[in-house]
Amino acid sequence: MKILVINCGSSSIKYQLFNMEDELVMVSGLAERIGEPQGKLTHNKFPDTEDELTIVKKEPIPDHKSGMNTIVSLLTDKEYGVIEDTSEILAVGHRVVHGGERFHEPALISDEVIRAIEETIPLAPLHNPANLTGIRVAQTLLPQAQQVAVFDTAFHQTMAPHVFHYSLPYEYYEKLGVRRYGFHGTSHRYVAKEAARLMGRPLDELNLMTIHLGSGASTCAIENGKSVDTSMGMTPVAGIIMGTRSGNIDPGIIIYLAKSKDMTIEELDHVLTHESGLKGICGLNDMRDIHKKATEGDKRAQLALDMFVYRIKKYIGNYSAILGHLDGLVFTAGIGEHDIEIRERCCEKLERLGIVLDPEKNKQEHEGPLQINKPESSVEIFVIPTNEELEIAQQTRELLESKGFK
């Protein structure tokens, strides 16, 4: 079974082709700067193997259909391709950021599913239109393949009403869908499954906290394998501090800024999404640059680090209380997987919660999963590289097999 995974952004297309018999990545690639005067497509055949072969094409990519046409032609290319004909692709798994309340699981794409995704565009105006573009182009170019939508929000649809409701007039929920949805669901689900495998226990018997730390960042409380709380909310701006996103703030600040600086809704949105977070505090949003500045004595860089760690530790405490006990704590994504200092500081003084990090294990170089707790720690602590594309492929396969496709 070969499954093509597509993650379509407003000006980019990320893709991977999997052979699901062994979950091997046959091809990975990225088309970017779509619609700009000069586009770029990077295509990797058998990535991270001895047989890896890469081609970089720098040429205009006028639209997503053009980009997908090039991708499909490369998949069947005699030198850079890995299949003889597109009929070998059984399915295309599409990342869809927002599924609203309707989608708890992946869905075979139909006209009805497309309409439902269109209805959630007001909740994800930057992402869902691009995701829909990818779906429509793939339907045209790969008509024989099953098209499957995998939703970032689906994993969190197990949250209870008292968790996902906001304390606002109830009609806003009924009429406008104002509630907490959560995001990064494919990442949280993937690393939770990996943690359970590493612990040698069924996921549905475990209480876990997963911490996804990249330019976007979120936490998730998982009880008996199900998401019961997450830090992001109705939008991906909420929760812990991120690279350029504010995370949780007093909502009264928005009113104050609007009045005192005569800011429009659009200006406020830009500030909260693109000018806040780590960048807002110290002018930098790459954690490596922030560490360097802090080491040089930059006080605002140090403040940004302190704030970042503090907010994460608050969630560890909150989720420990909500879950009653933790069996495992998982760090993932760019910062979570590679930042030794952030992981160590996040676990400091948490011994009474059963969290005892081993500083030496935490410093070990690793490509795959790494366990970093001391033997006396009642909570197993892991660093697990996330793989959202593989999770989308796995969920696509599971859905197809449940429908009788092989």
> How many CB atoms sit inside 10 A of residue 281's CB?
20
Measured in whole angstroms, how far is the alpha carbon of residue 73 from the centre of its chain?
28
| Amino acid identity, position 143 | P
Q: Are 43 and 33 in contact (CB under 8 A)?
A: no
Q: Are 388 and 95 in contact (CB under 8 A)?
A: yes
CA gap 92, 400 in Å, rounded: 11
3-state secondary structure 221-270: EEECCEEEEECCCCCCCCCCCCCCCCCCCCCHHHHHHHHHCCCCHHHHHH
Structure tokens at 389: 């594309």
Quote the Cα angle for 32-34-35, to 5°: 155
Q: Where are the alpha helices (DSSP H) in 234-365?
A: 252-260, 265-274, 277-282, 287-295, 299-323, 333-338, 340-347, 359-362
2-8 vs 89-96, strand pairing mode? parallel
Catalytic residue among 77, 111, 152, 289: 152
| Contact partners, residue 54, CB within 8 Å, separation at least 6 | 42, 43, 44, 45
* Residue 205: exposure state from Cβ atoms within 10 A (0-12, 13-18, ≥19): exposed
C-alpha pair distances (Å), 255 with each of 53, 102, 180: 54, 32, 21
CA gap 381, 33 in Å, rounded: 39
> How many CB atoms sit inside 10 A of residue 167's CB?
5
CA gap 400, 389 in Å, rounded: 17
Give SS3 for 215: coil
The question of whether 111 is a catalytic residue gets the answer: no
Active site residues: 152
